[in-house]
Structure 1
Amino acid sequence: MSLMPLPAQPADVPWPTEAWPRGEAPASLDSARFHALLAQAFDTDAMGETHALAIVQGGRLVFERYGPSHGPDHTYPSWSKAKSITQALVGILVGEGRLDLHAPADVPEWREPGDPRGAITLDQLLRMSSGLRFVEDYVPEHPSDVIEMLQRSGRPDMAHFAASMPLEHPPGTFWSYASGTTNIVSRIVARAIGATGEDFHAFMRRALFDPLGMKSPIPKFDGAGTFIGSSYCFATARDFARFGLLYLRDGIWDGRRLLPEGWVDYARTPTYQQPGEENRYGAHWWLDVGGPGSFSANGYDGQYTVLVPDLDLILVRHGATPLARKDALKAWVGEAVGCFR
């Protein structure tokens, strides 16, 4: 399938490594509709709490607004937006030849002869198609592997907790979104570079955050020193937008290629999913939230970094939206992007 072309940085717009260049909303913006949507976004009855909203177009910050007690220097929880950061770390190592997407994944728990999990590849993990059993449910009274992993018995070693799950389906045949999968991937990255804890954090800064000018990220680690790549990397809205710009610019930043050629296209190439799945998925990125051709990092409670190539637009939203309003917020994101069409 053909993917929508990714826009280049305009020649007259500086990269936001030090500060975001400012711009005006385009004349084509449906201003009345946009301001009605803004009122809805910051109406707690309609959408829950919106803490931060930032919109970048053409490489310039064209809109920014914060909720009470929040601001541009406030760091916001990523929740599952961290999965897309983990995908970037994998890409860096794939580009260096230190990881192979299509080889059996480096997972010690699967090395026993005859263990069918030993055939699972890094590609299948990134596409949430490993076939492992994992219950992704955030309702406390429901059976939930993700709550057990993040908050209970899995906390000392989340990758081990997830890698110990049995197969439910042959690898590559069934899509099932699972935070445990990402923590397995995060440990694979750690094993490839021989670093955990603060040494791994230093790798994240050196290889990804510092080149983009991302000064705010605060990644969290489990008891084994593995980055909790499924869920925990706090950052400012402006820094999440910087990360989004890296992907919107095809992995290039200020003339330097940070992600290997083709890696962003890999992220946004659809994964096979069973008929009936509501939301399309790529490789640790969601698809279509901002309209056809868009791709996004999404997180629990309504965290979004949405990239829209045909508009050269990034929308970052942070907040606390109840589960019952999740679909309304997703629809709101699509409508907000539509105001720029």
Structure 2
Amino acid sequence: MRARLRRGASDGRALLAAAAALLALAACAVGGPSSEELAAVDYAPEAFEGFDASTPEDQGLDADAVAELYWRAGTLESIHSLTVIKNGSVVAQGYFNGTDADLSQNVQSVTKSYTGALVGIAIEEGCIAGLDEPMMTYFPELAARVTDPRKEQITIEELLQMRAGYPWLEASAEGVELLFHGFAPSNVVDVPLARDPGTGWDYSNLSSHFLAIAVARACADDDLLAYAQERLFDPLATVPSEWTQDWEGYRLGYTELFVTAQEMARFGQMYLDGGRVDGEQVVPEAWVEQSWTPYTESAWYYKVGDNFDRTAYGYQWWIIDAGPHTYRLAWGHGGQQIAVLPELGLVVVVTADPLRGQLGDEPWRLEKANLNLVADFIAGLPEPDEA
């Protein structure tokens, strides 16, 4: 895992404290909560599978900061749920806009982080040979149709890193049409590369889907859901209500896994615990470290917010800086999030309207609000030696 540059010097902490104070004053100026409003916020959690209930204070969090987080969540238009886990206990929980704990919904590109976990398991088991294995190993029926020799060089690792050369589909009308029409294995051949493999980063739904197909073909007799249920979902007490298939029956590796917020919390906690669940090693510990290593800096295309800084990318996970902290993020369209902050033992889960099929300024405004909710909260947390 990348060692974060410490801002431990006293002058650095003073600057951060001053900045935080200015941000707090700015929040008040634009209508922050009153003390009465904070006192009225109800975020009391209930224990659920994998987590006892606790309080923010008992787990070292400031209760007012948590109350403000939930007050702000209550002002958002598209949020569905917000869950805060600290030191393995649920300390705050809330559902919004007519939803409840039973909602199993499309978590959009958070699916990619689940796909990444399955690749790590598959490599550990040996059914996928390793990170350097060529992508085309898993598409032998298409080999004779490949006219671009660069595609023969693409590796499993480059797909994981989104450095395989496949384009950001949302950047063109043709790409959007393919994205919403639906993928098929033949897209390995018929979608042209935007760059040479390994030379740069492009957000690629196709790359994640090719990973899912590779695992399904190599490890699961084409049935990725059955493989995932046994290897990953069962240990996490997770039963997806749906996982959409492509035109040829392969589960979408990049989106449309339907799970609950509580199931997402267990996935995030597993990564925080080094891939373990109840002492069982589900995802290899080394894979967690590899997945959270930044292979590309400044990966995202647009500014998200003042505290949503440094959008680095690992293996199907984002690495985000917020104030003095670095957190790992499974991020889906609409603002679905599993945010993991290892240094504070923190997991924050957000579900929101998936905004399926919606692109443009208005959906992005809603998504940014949900992303910044978490980034602003994390940015305001003290560093471990100050807590």
105, 108, 112: which one aligns with 1:83: 112
Q: Relative contact order: is structure 1 or structure 2 higher (C-alpha 8 Å, sep ≥ 6)?
A: 1
Could you tell me how far apart the structure 2 residues matched to 1:308 and 1:235 are?
22
Q: 1:260-286 deviations in whole A, cap 9, x for unaligned?
A: 231001111111347896621111001
Counterpart residue number, 2:68? 36
2:101 pairs with 1:69? no
Q: CA deviation at 1:245?
A: 1.1
Alignment of 1:320-335 (within 5 A): 320=353, 322-335=363-376
- Equivalent pair of 2:56/2:62 in contact (CA under 8 Å): no
Once the two structures are overlaid, the 10-residue window that deviates more, 241-250 or 254-263, is 254-263
Could you tell me how far apart the structure 2 residues matched to 1:276 and 1:78 are?
19
Question: Which runs of 5 or more residues in structure 1 are unaligned?
Answer: 5-15
Could you tell me how far apart the structure 2 residues matched to 1:33 and 1:18 are?
26
- Equivalent pair of 2:264/2:338 in contact (CA under 8 Å): yes
Counterpart residue number, 1:176? 202
2:287 pairs with 1:263? yes
Q: CA deviation at 1:121?
A: 0.3
Secondary structure in structure 2 of the residue aligned to 1:297: strand
Greater helix percent: which structure?
2
Q: 1:61-88 deviations in whole A, cap 9, x for unaligned?
A: 1111001321111112210000000001
2:377 counterpart letter in structure 1: A
Q: 1:247-268 deviations in whole A, cap 9, x for unaligned?
A: 1111112222112231001111
Counterpart residue number, 1:126? 160
226, 230, 251: which one aligns with 1:206: 230
Secondary structure in structure 2 of the residue aligned to 1:238: helix
Alignment of 1:282-321 (within 5 A): 282-288=314-320, 292-320=325-353
2:135 pairs with 1:102? no
- Percentage identity across paired residues of the two chains: 28
The count of residues paired between Structure 1 and Structure 2 equals: 317
- Equivalent pair of 1:57/1:312 in contact (CA under 8 Å): yes
Could you tell me how far apart the structure 1 residues matched to 2:167 and 2:292 are?
25
- Equivalent pair of 1:306/1:314 in contact (CA under 8 Å): yes
Q: Provide closer, same or farther for how the CA distance between residues 223 and 286 of structure 1 changes in structure 2, counting only shifts above 3 A.
A: same
Could you tell me how far apart the structure 1 residues matched to 2:72 and 2:269 are?
26
Structure number, greater radius of gyration: 2
Q: CA deviation at 1:335?
A: 1.9
1:294 counterpart letter in structure 2: Y
Secondary structure in structure 2 of the residue aligned to 1:158: coil
Counterpart residue number, 2:278? 254
Counterpart residue number, 1:222? 246
Question: Which runs of 5 or more residues in structure 2 are unaligned?
Answer: 5-46, 302-309, 356-362, 383-387
Q: 1:92-114 deviations in whole A, cap 9, x for unaligned?
A: 11111221111211334455487
Could you tell me how far apart the structure 2 residues matched to 1:21 and 1:185 are?
35
Could you tell me how far apart the structure 2 residues matched to 1:231 and 1:75 are?
14
1:70 counterpart letter in structure 2: T
Q: CA deviation at 1:144?
A: 5.1
Could you tell me how far apart the structure 1 residues matched to 2:364 and 2:148 are?
41
